[in-house]
Amino acid sequence: MKTTYRAMQVTRPGVLELVERPVPAPGPGEVLIEVEACGVCGADAADIEQADPTLASPRVPGHEVVGRIAAMGAATGSDTPPLWRVGQRVGVGRLGGHCNACDACRRGQFQLCRQQPFVGATCDGGYAEMMLARSTGLVAIPAELNAEEAAPILCAGIATFNALRKCGADAGDVVAVFGIGGLGHMALQYARRMGFEVVAIGRGDDIAADALALGAHHYLDTARDDAAARLTQMGGAQAIVATAGDAASVGALMRGLAPQGRMVLLGAGKDPLAVAAGPLVVSEQSVVGSLTGSPWENEKTLRFSVLSGARPMIETLPFERANEAWRKMKSGEARFRMVLTMTHPAADA
């Protein structure tokens, strides 16, 4: 094994620099992953632009990671039979591995563990040739998916898949997806394959054709449509999955919910959400947040993607061009997800 690896680290807020680091040894409960691909997520912008300058070792971002286990810490192989092995294809999402000891873990709510790292934010991520990961955060990658297409499913995929599973709608119900970007383009595919009448809500006609091709039955342009009124004309949406964090727009869309309809929030904006209490009470509506999910749920998302043919629309760049990739993602030029790829000459020889 090599003694060093290359990584794109945040040397100062907003700037990624290519550096060479010594290959770390995995400790108890950890594995070392040789990274093959890493998706570029909207959350990476905050990790890059708001990086902690006091860290002794600058942070490496990236939390949609697919690769192979290169080495294992002593404790990771103690299970009978072992769950993971050297050479196995694995992935890591935003949640970096639960502790198995806190109250949330004891309840089986691993995604709510407060002792786990956020990959790319509180621990190093996948804009690198190598990374360490907790074994409790590992996800098995199906053979039917290549690394580049599997990577975005580990965050954008599971976030939208779980949101739709929690939305309370049945097959045939109207379900709207607000925000047709990196998350929304996966939500449209999953919603169509789950049997919903799918309404895509975006801004501008330029995205309409893509939204319909991805699975939407209807497209509403907020630049010219009163989306809430249009949803009401359809009988109301049993669920609205909001991938965008614009609180004012989300609040306005609440008028388009059906009785007992549910607004599911994925976009974590900073502004407070204004909700009229009257309709919420009289129509027994609800507003819920949805986090990504556990490794088991991530594997379920991957399996559903394989079975249904749902795939992210991606553009790839070498990981050395990470600055270009995340700026393209942040500006909205990406259609719909950027993925960084790694080359491992020794493995290819």
The β-bridge partners of 92 are 65
- Do both 17 and 129 map to the same domain? yes
166 is written with which tokens? 């929690």
- Do both 261 and 328 map to the same domain? no
The pLDDT, as a whole number, for residue 209 is 96
- Do both 284 and 203 map to the same domain? yes
231 occurs within a structural domain: yes
147 is written with which tokens? 């690394």
Banded model confidence at residue 93, pLDDT cuts 50, 70, 90:
very high
- Do both 133 and 197 map to the same domain? no
Which residue's entry shows tokens 């070498």? 318
- Do both 150 and 193 map to the same domain? no
Mean pLDDT of the residues in the chain: 93
Banded model confidence at residue 347, pLDDT cuts 50, 70, 90:
very low
161 occurs within a structural domain: no
Banded model confidence at residue 78, pLDDT cuts 50, 70, 90:
very low
30 occurs within a structural domain: yes
**Angle formed by the axes of helices 184-193 and 295-308, to 10°?**
70
Reported as a single tens digit per residue, the pLDDT across 177-205 is: 999 999 999 999 999 999 999 999 999 99
Banded model confidence at residue 56, pLDDT cuts 50, 70, 90:
confident
Q: Which of 289, 306, 326 is the last residue of a domain?
A: 289
For residue 81, is the peptide bond before it cis, meaning its omega torsion is within 30 degrees of 0?
Answer: yes
122 occurs within a structural domain: yes
Q: Which of 289, 312, 328 is the last residue of a domain?
A: 289
48 occurs within a structural domain: yes
Q: Which of 289, 322, 340 is the last residue of a domain?
A: 289
- Do both 144 and 8 map to the same domain? yes
143 occurs within a structural domain: yes
- Do both 146 and 9 map to the same domain? yes
Q: Once rounded to an integer, what is the mean pLDDT over residues 304-314?
A: 98
The pLDDT, as a whole number, for residue 299 is 98
Name the pairing type of β-strands 130-134 and 30-40.
antiparallel
CATH number at residue 96: 3.90.180.10
d(CA 47, CA 127): 12
The pLDDT, as a whole number, for residue 349 is 32
Note down the domain range covering 199: 167-289
Q: Once rounded to an integer, what is the mean pLDDT over residues 24-48?
A: 95
pLDDT at residue 39 above 80? yes
160 occurs within a structural domain: no
Quick one: what percent of the chain has pLDDT higher than 70? 96
CB-neighbour burial class of residue 94 (10 A; exposed 0-12, middle 13-18, buried 19+): buried
- Do both 273 and 220 map to the same domain? yes
pLDDT at residue 348 above 60? no
Reported as a single tens digit per residue, the pLDDT across 132-158 is: 999 999 999 999 999 999 999 999 999
pLDDT at residue 286 above 90? yes
The β-bridge partners of 239 are 175, 262
pLDDT at residue 261 above 90? yes
- Do both 188 and 58 map to the same domain? no
Listed in order, strand segments (DSSP E) in 278-313 are 286-289
The pLDDT, as a whole number, for residue 344 is 59
d(CA 251, CA 332): 23
- Do both 182 and 257 map to the same domain? yes
d(CA 282, CA 260): 9
CATH number at residue 282: 3.40.50.720
d(CA 182, CA 14): 21
